[in-house]
Amino acid sequence: MINKLVGSDAEAVSDIFNGAIVMIGGFGEAGSPIELIHRLIDLGSKNLTVVSNNTGSGNVGIAALIANRQVSKMICSFPRSTNSVVFPELYRAGEIELELVPQGTLAERIRAGGAGIPAFYTPSSVNTPLADGKETREFNGQTYVLEYGIKADFSLVKCETADRYGNLTYHKTARNFSPIMCTAGSTTIVQAKNIVEPGGIDPESVITPGIFVNRVVEINDPLHESILVASGERYPQ
Amino acid sequence: MNTIERLGWSRNEMAQKAAMDIPDGSYVNLGIGMPELIADHVPAGIEVIYHTENGLLGMGPVPEKGQEDIELINAGKKYVTAIEGACFFHHADSFTMIRGGHLDISILGALQVCEKGDLANWSTGKPGAIPAVGGAMDLVAGVKNVWVITDHNTKDGKFKLVNNCSFPLTGKGVVDRVYTNLAIIEITEAGLKVREMAPGITFEYLQEKTEPKLLQ
């Protein structure tokens, strides 16, 4: 399908199945596709592996998805933050698996997954516990560790502006992991603040080319995680 | 004795000391915590560009109250501004800058630094602790100069400059220089060399607060 527009956020996520690998864009709340996450909570798919830099805060967004016991494993670089309570409790209780990955390795594993590269060597984490048990190799006298590309069944991202071809632009530091996650998802689902006609985005300014995107839904006025957390909101209520 | 002493430079003075050492024309990554203060202390007349790993080159100071943008944050997820001429990019590009050796200086916080320059700053390894590594392992692997800014001792008086790190490592032999409230210390082949001490701090006092033998 060349036309990527779908009618609702619920329809956009409706085929996320039990056991799926789901990449979720965002660095903290910047770029977190909170409406798509909440529709995934409504859908109730279980046993998900979620790839995202953080584990959410308060009881909304990713944290709420984890609290709803839909996530069996997190692949992330920084699973705690000021207001993160849900993940630490479940992790200490041994009820959620964590694969901790250096942030640059996480980014490159996603990039590689989307680019058809199965594995690569990186200097990051050499001589640390995060390289334990991993294959290493020397190049020009320096040691590197083998890391594998990651692909997802679904990627959920938020963008600023989209057209019906799925071309995307982002807002400031809300871009973060989203462009590479768009490339690594078999089905990439985008919530856009604005949808414009084709040509409404300058071709020189497109950040994510539409070929990487499968579904776009317009969410004009997205919720903000920090505002919800500050007012003690929970999802579902 | 349970008295907690914190002598020497204030956190802002430490940040100012580090900022003064940044050469004109440097691209610098500032880590979470005390390193974030350094952005407020760039001396007049030099051009330094700050990089934040979440996709901004040209990070500016903290915004005025009411001017915050929820989607313009630093690696510590605090609100920042973008200078004129700043640019945004995705995470793979951001870590291409870091790992690819394009940045000049990385300034990080620390739990422990050893005399050989090993850094531990992501986990105490204690049961129940939530390990969180972020971008630190990529920064120490890829950036030419790694500086640490940290209190000289822990809140309960333990050494942070140690013979060997007991916490899990972030990187081995990666730290070049340490700024503490008591001193500025260079990590050299010969050992820890004191470059400058805070006003009122004696070498003997500094040695007492530091596990490895210091060089004058």
Chain A neighbors of B134, CB-CB under 8 A: 77-78, 102-103
Chain A neighbors of B171, CB-CB under 8 A: 126-128
**Banded model confidence at residue B4, pLDDT cuts 50, 70, 90:** low
B53 is catalytic: yes
User: How does pLDDT run across B101-151, given as a tens digit for each residue?
Assistant: 999 999 999 999 999 999 999 998 888 889 999 999 999 999 999 999 999
User: How does pLDDT run across A14-51, given as a tens digit for each residue?
Assistant: 999 999 999 999 999 999 999 999 999 999 999 999 99
pLDDT averaged over chain A?
97
Residue type, B19: A
pLDDT averaged over chain B?
94
- For the domain A9-117+150-230, what is the CATH code? 3.40.1080.10
**DSSP code per residue over A123-146:** STTTTSGGGTT--EEEETTEEEEE
Q: Catalytic residue among B13, B36, B53, B204, which?
A: B53
Of B90, B98, B130, the CB nearest to A104: B98
The helix or strand, by DSSP H or E, that contains position B27, with its residue range, turns out to be: strand B27-30
Exposed e or buried b per residue across B173-202, where buried means at least 16 C-beta atoms within 10 angstroms of its C-beta: ebbbbbbbbbbbbbbeeeebebeebbeebe
Q: What are the residue ranges spanned by the domains of chain A?
A: 9-117+150-230
Is the confidence metric ipTM above 0.95 for this complex? yes
Q: Write down the CATH superfamily of domain B11-215.
A: Glutaconate Coenzyme A-transferase (3.40.1080.10)
User: How does pLDDT run across B167-183, given as a tens digit for each residue?
Assistant: 999 999 999 999 999 99
A–B interface: beta-carbon pairs under 8 A: 141
Answer yes or no: do B169 and A29 touch at CB < 8 A.
no
User: Which ranges in B8-167 belong to alpha helices (H)?
Assistant: 11-20, 91-99, 136-142
The strand pair at B56-60 and B145-149 is best described as unpaired
- Kindly report the nearest CA distance between residue B199 and chain A, in angstroms: 35
- Kindly report the nearest CA distance between residue B15 and chain A, in angstroms: 23
Asked which of A209-213, A217-221, B76-80, B161-165 is least confident by mean pLDDT, the reply is: B76-80
Q: Cα–Cα distance between A119 and A69 in angstroms, integer?
A: 31
Instruction: Tokens 């040695």: give the residue.
Output: B207
End-to-end CA separation in angstroms for chain B: 29
Q: Counting Cβ atoms within 10 Å, is residue A190 exposed (0-12), middle (13-18) or buried (19+)?
A: buried
Instruction: Tokens 């209190």: give the residue.
Output: B151
What strands, in cross-sheet order, belong to the sheet with B119-120?
B119-120, B112-114, B161-162
**Residue B151 tokens, joined:** 């209190």
Residue type, A230: A
